[in-house]
Amino acid sequence: MILNAAGLIGLYLLWRYVWRLKLAWPWRVLLSAVPVLIVLQHRIVKYLFGGSIASPEIAPQALWVLGACLGAVILFACFLLLRDVVGLLLFVVSRSKGRALWRSMPVAHGLGVLACVLAVIGVWQAVSVPQVKRLEITIPGLAKEFDGYKVVHLTDLHLSKLLQGPWAQQVVERTNALSPDLIVISGDLIDGTPEARQNDYPPLGDLHAKDGVYAVAGNHEYYAYFKRWMRVFNELGIRMLENEHVVLNKDGAQLVLAGVPDTISANFGQVGPDITKALANAPEGVPVILLDHRPGNILRNEPKGVSLQLSGHTHGGHILGIDQVVRMANEGFVSGLYQVGVGGRQLYVGNGAGLWSGFPLRLGRPSEIAEITLRSDVQ
């Protein structure tokens, strides 16, 4: 979706900026190739250096530069579109002023510089170690024994050439320092093959919580050797929930934790999500926390009795403003806590600890390690 959108706004950039520069047409043609190549960088890198679009295996410094270039193109085109909208509104009041804004190249140059600066900042924020985000969620019917129960939610780690082992180790250390009762990961732990990530994933084996570490597969797990990755995660002590649940016990009280695989699984001949199977034989009347990578799936999961769904996938929308496009592609859910349906059922969409190396930008949508304290409404 991001790449298709980038292509469209790249064309807008050519129309509203490059072809209006006072240069001879051969130079404008040559300059037009720059944003085109930037938008197509993922396929070019895959062709020249191997790896995949999901996991480009090049130096992280190169990924920083490519990410900043792509971000600058997207932001510049968006700024130009915003300027043109303002110009159109101004045209209604004053044709001369509206026309002047549409044609102002100094304004366009300034917006281009601003886009480049923000793109560099966005990459820096994207590769930073995430901070802890603390929140409390009240779950109707949660036994009072679980009041204060601490769940750390990680999602979208995307370990890759961009986010390597040392980064993962810092995320693990910050997570363990919270002394959680439970650690859950709602998909997209890695990018690439087990061989490519052999120095990056071992820190995940150091994750520790009183009641264990559980995860589900996101869409990126299916792009390279899914079965082998599932074995790796289990060997690390991360229990992968594939249409199944576990019952957590505390002082005689119970809480159900369930998980389903990503919907893309069927495209790769793997087991698809089945919420009915995941909750089969679960104790009745006990609240259910569900791990499902895609937030939009809450609309079909909530009627099955899910009390709280924990998801990722959106990366918070990456950039404030552009996140509204991501929202539309995810049933209106993009970041934070949502009330869904009736009976106090809820969805929490994490911004992600990391993100895909093909679009490594964050502006106004910071990465996170979510520390969720569960609260009971039982007196």
Give percent of the chain above pLDDT 70: 97
Confidence category of residue 19, pLDDT binned at 50, 70, 90: confident
Mean pLDDT of all residues belonging to the chain: 92
Q: Quote the radius of gyration of the chain (alpha carbons, Å).
A: 23
Per-residue pLDDT at 2 exceeds 60: no
Nearest residue to 302 (alpha-carbon basis) of 315, 287, 321:
287
154 has a pLDDT exceeding 70: yes
Residue 203 has pLDDT above 80, yes or no: yes
> HSE on the CB side for 240, CA within 13 Å?
22
Structural domains of the chain in order of their starting residue, each with its CATH number? 2-126 (no CATH), 131-376 (3.60.21.10)
Is the pLDDT at 16 greater than 90, yes or no?
Answer: no
Cα distances from 179 to residues 133, 172, 249, 371, in angstroms, run 15, 11, 18, 10
> 52, 223 in Cβ contact below 8 A?
yes
Worst-scoring range by mean pLDDT, 103-107, 193-197, 294-298? 103-107
Is residue 140 pLDDT above 90, yes or no?
yes
Query: Per residue in 158-168, pLDDT tens?
Result: 999 999 999 99
pLDDT band at 7, cuts 50/70/90? low
Residue 369 has pLDDT above 90, yes or no: yes
% of the chain with per-residue pLDDT over 90: 73
User: What's the pLDDT score for residue 4?
Assistant: 58
- Does the pLDDT of residue 252 top 80, yes or no? yes
**Does residue 300 surpass a pLDDT of 80?**
yes
Neighbours of 49 (CB within 10 A): 12
Question: Higher model confidence: residue 231 or residue 100?
Answer: 231
Instruction: Kindly report which listed range (86-95, 128-137, 224-233, 294-303) carries the lowest average pLDDT score.
Output: 86-95
Whether residue 142 contacts residue 255, with contact meaning beta carbons closer than 8 Å, is answered with: yes
Task: Report CA 370 to chain centroid distance, whole Å.
Answer: 14
Bridge partners (DSSP) of residue 136 are 373
* pTM given for the model: 0.93
